[in-house]
Amino acid sequence: MSIATAIKKHRTARKMTQEALAQALGLQRVTIASYEGGTVRPSLDVAHNMAQLFHVSIESLLTGADLETIEDTSRV
């Protein structure tokens, strides 16, 4: 899973809008849209802050591994 997909899944799982996530990180909504669209990658600092906000490891945010596990278990 790409970081773009992982960011969107973590955000929507927490029922956050792009605007709410942007405000929490001190960014603009268009920046979050660019991350989720895959046109821009977040800096390491921003990715770290997102991981803390989402209460996941930065590795999990970058790979989306925990989300795939959750999705796989929910299909059973």
CATH 1.10.260.40 is held by the domain 3-74:
yes
What is this structure's pTM?
0.82
Q: What is the pLDDT of residue 60?
A: 86
b/e 15-53 (16+ beta carbons within 10 angstroms → b): ebebeebbeebebeeebbebbbeeeeebeeebbebbbeb
pLDDT digits (tens, 9 = 90+) for 23-76: 999 999 999 999 999 999 999 999 999 999 999 999 888 887 766 544 444 444
pLDDT for 69 equals: 47
pLDDT tens profile 7-18: 999 999 999 999
* pLDDT at site 28: 98
